[in-house]
Structure 1
Amino acid sequence: MALFSGLSAFPITPMTSEGEVIAPDLQRLVQRIEAGGADSIGLFGSTGTYMFLSRDQRRRAVAAAVEAVASIPIIVGVGAIRTDEVQALARDAAAEGASGLLLAPVSYTPLTEEEVFQHFLAVASATDLPLCIYSNPGTTNFTFRPELVARLAVIPTVAAIKLPLPASGDIASDLAAFRQAAPSLSIGYSGDWGCKAALLAGADCWYSVAAGLFPEQAAALAAAAIRGDYEEANRCEAAFAGLWDLFRAHGSLRLIYAVANMLGLTEASPPKPLLGPDEGLTASLRKALPL
């Protein structure tokens, strides 16, 4: 299967209160993903709290994850504010054995389309690794229009785009617009509760938070949707309904840390200033687990 296709599972990056990556916990998580049947691992997506980690911490985490898995590729997020920093992170990821890169246009000052294009062009020149555009307007305050994606698709190493669920709810039309603009790219979606519909509509990849902890159940859902088995996809999705209701209401990042704690996979908490859920929300979360 191609790198940016199927199910890509995004784990948290367990770290101490001082910000040091807990390598054994990270390795436990990526091995669980590999054993659960995901097609790739997405290290340092938003769930991986990449912006809370230094360059050296990221490099060591990539090395630990690559060491722990044998059969599936690892896609590494390399977002940072300055272009030269991103280039260095891309080279580090390549040196440690990453199979692909994921890049969000992180900024403090809102970026123009030309600035984003030049940023991607420079980062793509740093390594030969295939690069996935990470569209996450909720955190970057930048929206990728199909016209810009068409320009970016001309860059030889740009191979994919990871899109948010469209605000309109019309995934089929959104997918068609990006397909027309950039037919050479793999097109995938994040936002777990909408990805069954995206895969059934013909998207290439589901970039999943839940699969970082429940890879076997998510892999079954992805497989059913990809082969167009509506009945089985609906059955698999039903197990996640409660969890995704909470994701929609409260966001996934803080909750997924709490779930990892519940499953005994790590004692790590979200990096400060992020706080975990309160007791009431934790109780609701425990009842919603797809076990």
Structure 2
Amino acid sequence: MFSGLSAFPLTPMNERGLDEGAFVRLIERLVTASVDSIGVLGSTGNYAYLTKTERARVLKLAVEHAGNIPVIAGIAALRTRDVLTLAENAEAAGVSGVLMAPMSYQKLLPEEVFGLYETVTRALSLPLCVYDNPGTTQFVFSDELHARIAHLPHVASIKIPAVSGDPVEARLRIERLRAHIPAHITIGISGDGSAAHGLNAGCDAWYSVIGGVFPSTALEITRAAQAGNTQEALRLSQRLQPLWELFAEYGGSLRVIASAAELRGLVEQPCLPLPLNALSGEGRSRLKILIDELNLS
């Protein structure tokens, strides 16, 4: 489950509520493409903007429509008591695993982060992926902290941020982390522009934003890397460089991928919770051209 392509779809919504029909269509699109797992309620899934009731509804829909593909559910929240409730809800919904970042308003200390994972894993019966996402959480994991957490029960994977584009540096990064963690823990890469580098360097999984809307495009890169065809994986990723540049220009992948889903007619506009907005004007026009030129699917 924590290997190959894990596709993270949007949770389409407007100020009236969830767009359940569009969400189901996105899930079914991933099932048709045969991704390796589906990650719901991650950053792309806008978990921080949803009520517990809305999050529970998303889980129910995902599990109902995912078929035989395992569903991984984000359970992050500001307070530990809420994380525990969300973990219970995820288990009750029948997901196969959970994903958790150390979400906070006040910047967390290492012992506080360890305490969070210790408390949550003690209550879990599902495998957990540790989400290392410093761009959002403002918390930077050390390899030593990863090692402590990796020895807790039910920890099965670590989702790391982007690695260097230099293949030697990228491989050394993965090898350093592997030296600190048990052999059964998988390592997954996030940051789509870095995915080919991470997979080629030895990551087991790609936790992918683009995969949630354009799964076939992401699968091409993933399967090339898994087959050991490193140059082809890099070529396929490099042809998407204009898209990676749009991600960087607009503060990350969410606004761009939401706009792409709108342009493809997969979701209605608007599909993001205010105050977030999809691209407009020149940025949207550039994206529309790119989707066609790159033949994203």
TM-score category (smaller protein): over 0.9
Which segments of 5 or more consecutive residues in structure 2 lack a partner in the other structure?
none
1:144 equivalent in structure 2: 141
Match of 1:4 among 2, 5, 15: 2
Aligned with 1:46: secondary structure? Answer: coil
**Is the contact between residue 171 and residue 197 of structure 1 (CA under 8 Å) also seen in structure 2?**
yes
Rounded Cα–Cα distance in structure 2 between residues aligned with 1:165 and 1:98 = 27
1:273 equivalent in structure 2: 275
Change (3 A) 1:151 1:234: closer
2:81 equivalent in structure 1: 84
Rounded Cα–Cα distance in structure 2 between residues aligned with 1:130 and 1:92 = 15
Q: In the alignment, is residue 66 of structure 1 matched against residue 66 of structure 2?
A: no
Change (3 A) 1:191 1:130: same
**Is the contact between residue 76 and residue 103 of structure 2 (CA under 8 Å) also seen in structure 1?**
yes
1:239 CA drift (Å): 4.3
2:287 equivalent in structure 1: 285
Q: Tell me the C-alpha RMSD between the 2 structures.
A: 1.5
2:214 equivalent in structure 1: 214
**Is the contact between residue 44 and residue 77 of structure 1 (CA under 8 Å) also seen in structure 2?**
yes
Rounded Cα–Cα distance in structure 1 between residues aligned with 2:135 and 2:221 = 26
State TM-score, norm by structure 1.
0.95
Q: Provide Cα deviations, 1:111-147, integer angstroms capped at 9, x if missing partner.
A: 1111111111111122200000001111111111100
1:203 CA drift (Å): 0.6
1:87 CA drift (Å): 0.5
**Is the contact between residue 258 and residue 282 of structure 1 (CA under 8 Å) also seen in structure 2?**
yes
Q: In the alignment, is residue 16 of structure 1 matched against residue 14 of structure 2?
A: yes
Rounded Cα–Cα distance in structure 2 between residues aligned with 1:173 and 1:181 = 13
1:114 equivalent in structure 2: 111
Q: Provide Cα deviations, 1:168-216, integer angstroms capped at 9, x if missing partner.
A: 8632222111101113311011011111111111110011111111101
Residues 85-234 of structure 1: matches in 2 within 5 Å? 85-166=82-163, 170-184=169-183, 185-234=185-234
Rounded Cα–Cα distance in structure 1 between residues aligned with 2:36 and 2:126 = 18
Aligned with 2:233: secondary structure? Answer: helix
1:31 equivalent in structure 2: 28
Rounded Cα–Cα distance in structure 2 between residues aligned with 1:93 and 1:244 = 32
Rounded Cα–Cα distance in structure 2 between residues aligned with 1:104 and 1:29 = 24
State TM-score, norm by structure 2.
0.93
Consecutive aligned runs of 4 or more in structure 1 exceeding 6 Å deviation = none
Aligned with 2:187: secondary structure? Answer: strand
Count matched residues. Answer: 288
Q: Provide Cα deviations, 1:5-32, integer angstroms capped at 9, x if missing partner.
A: 00111111011223x2222111110110
Aligned with 1:8: secondary structure? Answer: strand
Rounded Cα–Cα distance in structure 1 between residues aligned with 2:249 and 2:146 = 30
Letter matched to residue 260 of structure 1: A
Percent identical among aligned pairs is 42
Further displaced range: 238-247 or 4-13: 238-247
Further displaced range: 59-68 or 265-274: 265-274
**Is the contact between residue 35 and residue 219 of structure 2 (CA under 8 Å) also seen in structure 1?**
yes
Rounded Cα–Cα distance in structure 2 between residues aligned with 1:191 and 1:88 = 29
Rounded Cα–Cα distance in structure 1 between residues aligned with 2:165 and 2:260 = 30
Aligned with 2:39: secondary structure? Answer: strand
Aligned with 1:48: secondary structure? Answer: coil
Change (3 A) 1:168 1:105: farther
1:257 CA drift (Å): 0.9
Aligned with 2:141: secondary structure? Answer: coil
1:107 CA drift (Å): 0.7
Rounded Cα–Cα distance in structure 1 between residues aligned with 2:108 and 2:66 = 36
